[in-house]
A and B are shown apart, each in its own frame.
Chain A
Amino acid sequence: MAIHHGRGFACINYPIGMNLGGDPSQALVHSTPDGKFKVTLSSIDLGQGIKSVGRQLAAETLGVPVEDVFVDTADSDTGPHDMGSFASRGTHRMGNAIIRAATEARAQLLEAAAEELEVDAPDLVTDGRGNIHVKGAPSRSVTVEATATAAQFNQGRTLAGRGIFLVPLSEVDSDTGEMTPVSSFAHAALIIDLTVDDETGEVEVQHINSAYEVGRALNPRLVEQQLIGGAWMGVSHALYETTEPYYPDRSHGPIDFNHYLQPGPGDAVPHHISVLERPAPDAPFGGKGPGEMCANPVLPAIANAVFNAVGVECDSLPITPEKVLRGIRANGGARPQGRPGA
């Protein structure tokens, strides 16, 4: 019998941040006597990189080198409140709080520099490399380090900032379901190419092509980490994993990683990503969080590709070889649908 190729498509959007709002994030920023900055949060880094993104957002807003900025987080004695790391809210909510805190700290930094250079603060700019100078007169400059030292020991001025970002809690209407679900949405469209063995029902993803719109890739490599890892998890959800293989019967639930199936290193799929950036007006530098949504389009795209390959409607997850084989048998054989979009 035969191996059939299939191609499937899906596209989605995703709400960024806790759905009904009411999920505040706070940030504190302060300078050391020699112009290094600490960003103090309560966010949790699960691997998504909130420490790294937070550091970049603070450095950009302050106008200082990123090497001079460090995030310290998740000590309830020192960090201000944050709702938590979930719902793709870290970048959006905490990012906005960091920008506000860093903006307040920057204002005082420029005021301190203005006093040193005897000019007005609005005339000053930062060059991002540790210097503050008069707009249009780079030679009239002072280093961030000298400014911080002067502020600390001569001016008696603190270079610090606070920031909070809160999307007000939205009610939900009991009769119409009216609500304000968040303020910005990420988007994705994805095409799966796969093969189906019509003798065993085995599905093997061959290629993923995707386009993810993430507002702004605040750190391209961290975004790629999410999109590659997320798409892998999407393949895993679509074809492999479940805590109840015979749901809703509870028997045979896996209790170890050997029996909780996930694609292995040998199943790693070539995934070509296009990143689109339409900045969300209320997001930090326009950046939306790509973390949660990147797996979502993969599941239906795989199901649609399996139908394209052999004509079996896969409407229950995971799409195991057994379900595909039973579908092929019920149709009296494979029913390839022909290449879409040809």
Chain B
Amino acid sequence: MLEVETYPTVGEAANAMDDQARFLGGGTLIMNRVNYGDRRFNRIVRTTDASLSEIRAEGDRLEVGAGVTMASIMASRDLEFLSSAARAVGGPAIRNMASVGGNLMAPHPYGDMAVALLALDAVVRMVRGEELSLEDFLARRNGVVRSLLIRRPQGDEFRFRKVSRVKPKGVSVMSMAAHLTRSAGRLSGVRIAYGAMAPTPVRVRAVENALEGVSLDHAGIAAALSAATEGLDPPDDPIASGWYRREVAPVHLRRLLLGEDAR
């Protein structure tokens, strides 16, 4: 049978974890598996630790607790730059439940918030204080996350776009995020991330390199568009084929970078 263990602090909860247990965030991933009788785990570990739901400034960064929901992000003035990514995660009910920490663990094609955080070079703070880049965390995806450290982007440097077939809310054909930092009027140190184009949300180095030092216009981004899916092998799934994702990625990347309206 399935056991549920509740701990007052996230530290105690983390200690109780083993490979037969799953950590319950908002429930949108784990309870789905429970309802369908997933036998890979027989224990649910959860915590009532309120600190996980806090949004606090820390130096020039914001610490967002792993338990913060998409709805809380949309309601937060400090995280206004993340609201379009938060709105992309499920309908109103799901957004009241889905947590930031949970989104980092979401299987393909989910994880749109993680795509945005990847482009913002967020840092993951684990339950015992250990910190690593979100990119490194996504490579291993285990352990209990305490919070994410996010540096607020300037002006309209940060762009997020989700391509889905159903309006207003549908699962991703792909999602894209761009943090378009500049120096001397040219793009520099840009970060690009894709969702639903690889097993997990992924940084796209080929495009980042092609954007280094260019101006943000048709001519400037041409090389980046031709490198749009370099090194990626987008999956087939019920929503779209890998062929289609590869073919239209450059179009959506152009629309993201130049801010063309998504029809």
Contact of B263 among A201, A202, A267, A320 (CB under 8 A): A202
* Contact residues in A for B168 (Cβ distance below 8 Å): 264-266
How far, in angstroms, from A198 to B255 measured CA to CA in the complex?
Answer: 14
How far, in angstroms, from A251 to B241 measured CA to CA in the complex?
Answer: 12
Q: With CB as the reference atom, state the residue of chain B lying closest to A254.
A: B238
Range for the number of chain B residues in contact with chain A: 20 to 34
Which stretch from B131-139, B175-183, B208-216, B243-251 is at the chain A interface?
B243-251
In the complex, chain B residues 124-179 whose Cβ is within 8 Å of any chain A Cβ: 165-171
B263–A261 CB distance below 8 A: no
* Contact residues in B for A267 (Cβ distance below 8 Å): 166-167
* Contact residues in A for B239 (Cβ distance below 8 Å): 259, 261
For chain A, the count of residues having a C-beta within 8 Å of the partner chain is: 29
A104 within 8 A of B: no
A259–B237 CB distance below 8 A: yes
- 23 A–B contacts, CB within 8 A, in A order: A199-B251, A200-B248, A201-B248, A240-B165, A246-B236, A246-B241, A252-B236, A252-B237, A253-B238, A254-B238, A259-B171, A261-B165, A261-B238, A262-B166, A264-B166, A264-B168, A266-B166, A266-B169, A267-B167, A321-B165, A321-B244, A322-B241, A322-B243
* Contact residues in B for A264 (Cβ distance below 8 Å): 166-170
Q: With CB as the reference atom, state the residue of chain B lying closest to A245.
A: B238
How far, in angstroms, from A118 to B243 measured CA to CA in the complex?
Answer: 84
Give the shortest distance, in Å, between B234 (CB) and chain A (any CB): 12
Give the shortest distance, in Å, between B136 (CB) and chain A (any CB): 29
B240 within 8 A of A: yes
In the complex, chain A residues 8-34 whose Cβ is within 8 Å of any chain B Cβ: none
* Contact residues in A for B165 (Cβ distance below 8 Å): 202, 240, 261, 321
Which B positions have Cβ atoms within 8 angstroms of A? 165-171, 236-241, 243-244, 247-248, 251-252, 263
How far, in angstroms, from A202 to B252 measured CA to CA in the complex?
Answer: 12
Contact of A259 among B238, B247, B248 (CB under 8 A): B238
- A-B contacts, CB under 8 A, total: 65
In the complex, chain A residues 155-188 whose Cβ is within 8 Å of any chain B Cβ: none
A128 within 8 A of B: no
* Contact residues in A for B241 (Cβ distance below 8 Å): 246, 322
A261–B243 CB distance below 8 A: no
Q: With CB as the reference atom, state the residue of chain B lying closest to A253.
A: B238
B236–A266 CB distance below 8 A: no
* Contact residues in A for B170 (Cβ distance below 8 Å): 258, 261, 264
B167–A266 CB distance below 8 A: yes
Q: With CB as the reference atom, state the residue of chain B lying closest to A202.
A: B263
Contact of B244 among A258, A260, A261, A322 (CB under 8 A): A322
Give the shortest distance, in Å, between A301 (CB) and chain B (any CB): 20
A325–B248 CB distance below 8 A: yes
Given the known inter-chain contacts A252-B237, A322-B243, please indicate yes or no for A261 contacting B166, CB distance below 8 A.
yes
**Interface 1/0 per residue, A196-221 and B, CB below 8 Å:** 01011110100000000000000000
